C-alpha cells in the first residue's frame, strides 16, 4: 500500500534514497542516520569486517556531499560504528560498539576528540550502541552489554544512569537504539525484551510499547525509535521487517512494511547502465525489493516526515504523515 | 581426575565429530561417558543453535553478503562458536561430498544457504538429503540442470549424481545417466531479482511440468514414468550407494583414504570397517545418524587416533577453539576464513565437483609453512585465554614435578592430549632443559616461565604430530 490509513492517521509513501555501495554514493549495511540542517543527513555505514565503515553526507534530494571515517582503532576511525547524532553546534557524535567509545567530529567530518572507557563500572561502557542528545546537550548512551542507559556531558563526564539486566519494568536485555522527545523523555529499544520503554530523564518508567496478549503490535528485536510532533511513536521492528506505530499512550496504531516501488535515482542510474539487469528485473516479481528488510533506524523531521533506514537494502524510505487527507469515495 | 585414556579417547572423538575441545571441556564430557557424548553429538537439536538474530545484529554485513570471504567467515564463526559440533562437521562433510563451488555459481549467499541445508538435513535420511540437494538452486546452477529440458537434456547433474554423489564409477551405464537426466528435466530455478542495487535476493527452486519429460524411462533395471524423486528412491536402494557412502564416511571420520576418483581401482584401507558401515546403512535404510552412531562406537574408529591429516578448517578452527581467541563476537573471522583458503581449502569454493583432495595432499612445503606458522603464532600469544589456561595447568603441574620431562608431558597433555614421536619428544625435552626449572617467586621469574612454556607450546604446534587429527 502506498497510502496507509489507520486510527485517524494517514501515511503516504513518498520516495527512497540510496543504494548499496562499498564506498562513495551509497551505503553498506547502514545502522543509523541523523538529520542535519539544510536537508543534509549523515548516514552511518557499518560495512563488514575491514571494509565500508564510514559516515556519508547526503541530502534528502539525493546529493552526495562526501564521506568521512574509515576502519581502524586510531583516532577518528571506527570498527563497529552503531549510532550517530548531532549536537546544537552541528558536531557529529558516533558510537563504536567494539572500541567502547564515542568519537566527535565537526560538521564536515573533521575529527575532534573521543571519550569512553571499557568496563561495567559507573561511567564505563560495554558495547555502546544507540546515542541521542537531549535539549540540554546531554549524551544518552545505550550501554548495551551492561543492559543500561547512561548520560554523559559533551566531553564524556558521567552524569546519570538507569536500567539493569532483566525483563521486569525498567529492566533491559541488550538494549539497542534510543531517542529523546521534545520533553527530553528517553525511549529505549529494549531489543531482547521485544519492547520499547519510555523513561523520564530521571529514569522513571513512563510507558511501555509492546504487543498485547493477543499479539497486536508485537515487536521482535526492536532496533530504533522516533517520535513525531503529535507524540506518535515509530519503532523499527528489525526482526519482523516492518515499522510499528503506536500512540503516545502505547496504543498500537498500524505498521509500515516498505513501499519502494520506484528505485532511487542512484539505483535507477545503476540499473539503466546494465541492459541485462533491466531484462532480469522485467522477468520477476519485484515486491521483495520494495519491502523493508532489516529496518534498523527511524527519524522524523520537522515536517513529520518519517524516514526509515534499512540495513539489508542499504537505503532510506520516506513517508509523509498527511494532515489534510480527505477520504476518496468508497464506491469508486 | 578422569582416567587419561578416557580423556585421550574423548579428545579423538571431539576432533573427528567436531573441531576439537579445550581440555576443560574434554574433562566435562568424559564425566558424561563416551556413549552419552556420542548421543549428544548425534542429536544437535538438544543444544541451542547459533542465535542468528544476535549474529546479524553484530555482523549485519554478513546477512546476504555478496563477497565470498564474508560468507566463509559466517561459516567459520559457526564452526568455532557452535554448541552443535557434529552438525557443523556434517555440513563440512556434505560440502566435501556435494562439492559446489563459487567459481561457477558466483552466488556466495546461495552457497551459504546450501550449507544451511546440510546443517538441517545432514543427520537424517540420505534419501531426503539427496532430494534436497537436487532442489538446491546452487547445485542446479553448478551442474546446469536449469538447462535440462524435455527434448534437450543436459546430463551434467545426472552424471555427477551417479558418479560422485551416490553410486560411484563402474556401477551404472551411460544410458542410466541419460535416463536419470530425463527424470530431472524441469527441475530448475525461478527468475529472481538480480543482485544490486539493493543487495542480494535468493534463488528459489521451481518445478516446470511443461519442461519435464513425462515419458517412460528405464533406470538401473527399473522401468516407469520416473520423476527425479523416483530416481533418488532407486539410487538409495543400490548396494553400491551404501558402499560409496560408507567409504566417504570412513575417509572423513576415520582415516585417510585415496581420493574418490581412484575408488573403482583402489580397494579400501579397511574393508571390514566398510562392510560394517554398509551393514549399518542397510539396517537403518540409509539413516545417517544411525550409521554415525555405529561408526563412533566402533573399535576401528576408537583405534584410529591421529590417522588423518587435519584439513585446513580443522587445523584453524581447532587451534582457535583451544586458544579461545574467537569465542563470541569480534572482528576478524574473515581473516580466519581467508587463512583456510591460503592453506588450500577455500570454503564454498572447492576446486571441482570432486571436492578437495585430502590426506597428505593437504600438505606441500608452502602450505606446511602456513599451517605451522598459523598454529605457532596462536600458541605463542600468551595473552589469549586458552593459552593462559594451558600455561596455568602446566605451572600447577610443575609445583609437584618441575623437571623438563614433566613440563613437556604437561604441555602435550594440555594441548591434546597429544602423542609425539621420539624425534619430536627429544627436541621438546632439549628445549625444556635449556629453559631450566620453572619458577614464579618474582614477577621476572613468572614472566620467564610464561615465555618458556609458551615456547614449548609453540614448538608442539609446529610439530609433525599437531598436523594430524
pLDDT tens figures, B97-147? 999 999 999 999 999 999 999 999 999 999 999 999 999 999 999 999 999
Asked if the model's pLDDT at residue A308 lies above 90, the reply is yes
Phi–psi pair at A153, nearest 5 degrees: -75, 175
State the smallest CA–CA distance between residue A185 and chain B in angstroms: 26
| Gap between the Cα atoms of B452 and B380, Å rounded | 10
How confident is the model over A3-28, as a mean pLDDT? 95
Interface ipTM: 0.96
H/E element, B97: helix B85-97
Residue range A73-86: mean pLDDT, rounded: 98
- Cα dihedral across residues B108, B112, B117, B119: positive or negative: positive
Which residues in chain A are closer than 8 Å to B334, comparing Cβ atoms? 48-50
Nearest residue, CB atoms, B198 vs list A79, A98, A314 = A314
For residue B463, give the nearest of B414, B437, B438, B426 by alpha carbon.
B426
Spell out the alpha helix ranges (H) of B136-173: 137-142, 156-163
Residue B445 banded pLDDT, cuts 50, 70, 90: confident
Candidates B62, B190, B192; nearest CB to A48: B62
The confidence score (pLDDT) of residue B400 equals 80
> Which letter does DSSP use for residue A43 in this model?
E
Per-residue burial over A236-261, b if 16 or more Cβ lie within 10 Å, else e, is bbbbbbbbbbbbbebebbbbbebbbe
CB contact under 8 A, B198 and A52: no
Residue B396's pLDDT band (cuts 50, 70, 90): confident
In chain B, the percentage of residues whose pLDDT exceeds 90 is 91
A26 pLDDT higher than 90: yes
Q: What is the pLDDT of residues B290-328, one digit of tens each?
A: 999 999 999 999 999 999 999 999 999 999 999 999 999
- DSSP helix/strand/coil, A191: helix
Residue B395: predicted pLDDT = 87
Q: How many CB atoms lie within 10 A of CB B324?
A: 17
Give contacts of A285 with chain B, Cβ < 8 Å.
Answer: 193
Q: Burial-class residue B198 by CB neighbours within 10 Å (0-12, 13-18, 19+).
A: buried
Say what percent of chain A tops pLDDT 70.
Answer: 100
Query: Which residues of chain B have a CB within 8 Å of the CB of A29?
Result: 60-61
Q: How far is CA B158 from the centre of its chain?
A: 26
Tell me if chain A has a CB within 8 Å of the CB of B73. Answer: yes
Distance CA B122, CA A78 (A): 40
Distances B341 to B312, B330, B337 between C-alpha atoms, Å: 8, 20, 7
B61/A29 touch (CB, cutoff 8 Å), yes or no: yes
Chain B residues within an 8 Å CB radius of A80: 58, 331
Closest CA to B159 of B137, B139, B147, B143: B143
* Residue A103 Cα distances to A30, A76, A86, A91, A128, angstroms: 17, 7, 12, 10, 12
- Over residues A217-243, the pLDDT tens digits come to 999 999 999 999 999 999 999 999 999
Report whether A49 contacts B332 (CB < 8 A). Answer: yes
Cβ contacts (< 8 Å) between B76 and chain A: which residues? none
Partner-chain residue, chosen from B194, B330, B331, that has the shortest CB–CB distance to A277:
B194
Mean pLDDT value across residues A323-330: 88
DSSP string of B217-278, one letter each residue: EEETTEEE---HHHHHHHHHTSHHHHHHHHHHHHHHHT-----GGGTTTS--S-HHHHHHHH
Predicted confidence band at A171 (pLDDT cuts at 50, 70, 90)?
Answer: very high
pLDDT per residue as tens digits for the range B137-175: 999 999 999 999 999 999 999 999 999 999 999 999 999
Q: Using CA atoms in the order B343, B347, B353, B359, what is the torsion angle rounded to 10 degrees?
A: 40
- pLDDT of A279 higher than 90: yes
Determine the pLDDT at residue A330: 84
Termini Cα distance of chain A: 17
pLDDT of residue A329: 87
pLDDT number for residue A16: 98
The answer on pLDDT for B420 being more than 80 is yes
Q: How far apart are CA B392 and CA B396, in angstroms?
A: 6
Q: What is the pLDDT of residues B318-362, one digit of tens each?
A: 999 999 999 999 999 999 999 999 999 999 999 999 999 999 999
Asked whether residue A124 carries a pLDDT value surpassing 90, the answer given is yes
Partner-chain contact A284 B193, CB within 8 Å: yes
Whether residue B398 has pLDDT greater than 80:
no
Query: What is the structure's pLDDT at A267?
Result: 98
- Over its C-alpha atoms, chain B yields an Rg (Å, rounded) of 24
pLDDT attached to residue B277? 98
Q: Which of A281, A294, A311 sits opposite B193 (nearest CB)?
A: A281
Q: In the predicted model, what is the mean pLDDT of chain B?
A: 96
Contact check, Cβ <8 Å, B190/A52: no
Identify the pLDDT of residue B450: 87
Half-sphere exposure of B265 (CA within 13 A, CB side): 2
Task: Write the residue in B58, B196, B334 that is nearest to A20 by C-beta.
Answer: B196
> With 90 as the cut, is the pLDDT of residue B446 above it?
no
By percentage, how much of chain B surpasses pLDDT 70? 100
Helix locations, B362-440, DSSP H: 365-379, 385-400, 404-414, 422-435
| pLDDT of res. B179 | 98
Q: Hey, how many other C-beta atoms are within 10 angstroms of the C-beta on B201?
A: 18
Say what the pLDDT of residue A27 is. Answer: 98
B408-B412-B418 Cα angle (round to 5): 145
Q: Number of helices (H) and strands (E), helices first, in chain A?
A: 3, 25
Nearest to A115 by CA among A136, A137, A93: A93
Nearest CA in chain A to B73: A49
Amino acid at each position: 500500500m502506498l497510502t496507509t490509513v489507520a486510527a485517524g492517521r494517514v501515511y503516504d509513501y513518498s520516495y527512497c534514497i540510496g543504494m548499496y555501495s562499498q564506498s562513495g554514493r551509497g551505503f553498506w549495511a547502514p545502522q543509523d542516520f541523523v538529520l542535519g540542517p539544510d536537508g543534509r543527513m549523515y548516514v552511518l555505514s557499518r560495512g563488514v569486517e575491514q571494509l565500508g565503515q564510514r559516515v556519508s553526507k547526503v541530502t534528502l534530494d539525493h546529493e552526495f556531499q562526501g564521506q568521512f571515517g574509515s576502519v581502524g582503532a586510531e583516532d577518528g576511525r571506527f570498527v563497529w560504528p552503531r549510532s550517530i547524532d548531532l549536537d546544537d553546534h552541528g558536531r557529529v557524535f558516533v558510537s563504536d560498539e567494539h572500541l567502547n567509545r564515542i568519537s566527535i567530529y565537526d560538521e564536515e567530518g573533521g575529527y575532534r576528540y573521543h571519550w569512553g572507557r571499557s568496563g561495567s563500572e559507573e561511567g564505563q561502557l560495554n558495547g555502546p550502541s544507540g546515542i541521542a542528545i537531549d535539549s540540554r546537550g546531554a549524551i544518552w548512551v545505550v550501554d548495551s552489554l551492561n543492559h543500561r542507559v547512561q548520560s554523559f556531558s559533551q566531553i564524556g563526564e558521567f552524569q546519570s544512569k538507569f536500567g539493569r539486566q532483566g525483563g521486569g519494568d525498567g529492566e533491559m536485555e541488550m538494549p539497542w537504539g534510543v531517542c529523546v522527545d521534545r520533553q527530553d523523555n528517553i525511549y529505549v529499544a529494549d531489543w531482547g525484551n521485544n519492547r520499547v520503554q519510555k523513561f523520564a530523564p530521571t529514569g522513571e518508567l513512563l510507558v511501555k510499547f509492546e504487543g498485547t496478549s493477543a499479539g497486536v503490535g508485537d515487536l521482535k528485536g526492536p532496533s530504533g525509535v522516533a517520535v513525531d510532533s503529535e507524540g506518535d511513536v515509530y519503532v523499527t521492528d528489525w526482526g519482523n521487517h516492518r515499522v510499528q506505530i503506536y500512540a503516545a499512550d502505547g496504543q498500537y496504531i498500524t505498521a509500515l512494511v516498505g513501499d519502494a516501488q520506484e528505485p532511487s535515482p542512484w539505483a535507477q542510474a545503476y540499473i539503466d547502465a546494465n541492459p541485462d539487469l533491466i531484462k532480469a528485473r522485467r522477468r520477476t516479481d519485484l515486491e521483495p525489493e520494495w519491502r523493508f528488510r532489516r529496518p534498523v533506524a527511524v527519524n522524523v523531521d520537522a515536517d513529520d516526515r518519517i524516514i526509515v533506514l534499512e540495513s539489508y537494502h542499504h537505503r532510506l524510505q520516506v513517508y509523509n504523515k498527511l494532515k489534510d487527507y480527505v477520504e476518496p469515495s468508497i464506491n469508486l | 581426575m578422569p582416567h587419561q585414556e578416557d580423556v585421550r579417547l574423548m579428545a579423538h572423538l571431539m576432533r573427528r565429530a567436531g573441531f576439537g575441545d579445550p581440555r576443560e571441556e574434554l574433562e566435562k564430557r568424559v564425566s558424561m561417558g563416551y556413549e552419552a557424548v556420542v548421543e549428544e553429538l548425534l542429536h544437535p537439536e538438544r543444544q541451542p543453535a547459533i542465535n542468528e538474530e544476535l549474529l546479524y545484529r553484530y555482523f549485519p554485513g554478513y546477512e546476504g553478503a555478496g563477497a565470498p570471504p564474508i560468507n566463509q567467515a559466517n561459516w567459520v564463526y559457526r564452526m568455532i562458536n557452535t554448541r552443535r559440533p557434529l552438525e557443523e562437521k556434517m555440513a563440512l562433510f556434505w560440502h566435501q561430498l556435494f562439492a559446489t563451488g563459487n567459481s561457477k555459481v558466483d552466488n556466495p549467499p546461495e552457497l551459504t544457504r546450501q550449507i544451511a541445508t546440510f546443517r538441517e538435513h545432514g543427520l537424517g535420511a540420505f534419501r531426503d538429503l539427496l532430494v534436497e540437494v537436487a532442489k538446491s538452486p546452487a547445485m542446479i546452477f553448478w551442474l546446469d540442470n536449469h538447462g535440462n529440458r524435455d527434448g534437450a537434456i543436459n546430463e551434467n547433474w545426472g552424471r555427477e549424481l551417479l558418479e560422485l554423489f551416490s553410486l560411484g564409477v563402474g556401477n551404472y551405464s551411460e544410458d542410466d545417466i541419460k535416463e536419470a537426466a530425463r527424470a530431472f528435466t524441469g527441475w530448475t530455478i525461478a527468475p529472481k531479482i538480480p543482485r544490486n542495487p539493493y543487495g542480494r535476493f535468493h534463488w528459489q527452486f521451481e518445478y516446470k511440468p511443461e519442461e519435464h519429460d513425462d515419458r517412460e524411462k528405464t533406470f538401473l533395471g527399473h522401468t516407469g514414468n520416473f520423476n527425479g524423486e523416483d530416481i533418488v528412491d532407486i539410487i538409495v536402494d543400490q548396494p553400491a550407494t551404501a558402499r560409496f557412502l560408507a567409504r566417504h564416511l570412513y575417509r572423513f571420520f576415520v582415516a585417510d583414504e585415496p581420493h574418490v576418483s581412484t575408488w573403482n581401482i583402489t580397494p579400501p584401507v579397511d574393508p571390514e570397517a566398510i562392510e560394517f558401515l554398509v551393514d549399518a546403512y542397510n539396517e537403518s535404510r540409509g539413516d545417517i545418524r544411525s550409521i554415525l552412531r555405529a561408526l563412533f562406537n566402533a573399535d576401528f574408529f576408537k583405534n584410529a587416533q591421529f590417522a588423518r591429516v587435519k584439513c585446513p578448517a580443522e587445523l584453524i578452527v581447532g587451534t582457535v577453539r583451544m586458544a579461545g581467541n574467537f569465542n563470541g563476537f569480534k572482528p576478524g573471522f574473515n581473516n580466519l576464513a581467508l587463512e583456510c583458503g591460503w592453506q588450500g581449502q577455500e570454503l564454498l569454493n572447492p576446486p571441482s565437483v570432486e571436492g578437495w583432495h585430502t590426506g597428505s595432499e593437504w600438505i606441500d612445503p608452502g602450505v606446511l609453512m602456513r599451517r605451522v606458522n598459523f598454529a605457532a603464532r596462536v600458541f605463542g600469544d600468551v595473552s589469549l585465554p586458552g593459552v593462559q589456561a594451558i600455561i596455568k595447568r602446566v605451572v600447577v603441574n610443575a609445583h609437584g614435578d618441575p623437571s623438563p620431562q614433566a613440563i613437556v608431558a604437561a604441555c602435550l597433555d594440555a594441548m591434546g592430549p597429544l602423542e609425539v614421536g621420539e624425534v619430536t619428544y627429544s627436541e621438546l625435552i632439549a628445549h625444556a632443559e635449556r629453559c631450566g626449572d620453572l619458577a614464579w617467586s618474582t614477577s621476572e621469574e613468572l614472566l620467564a616461565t610464561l615465555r618458556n612454556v609458551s615456547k614449548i607450546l609453540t614448538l608442539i604446534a609446529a610439530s609433525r604430530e599437531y598436523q594430524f587429527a
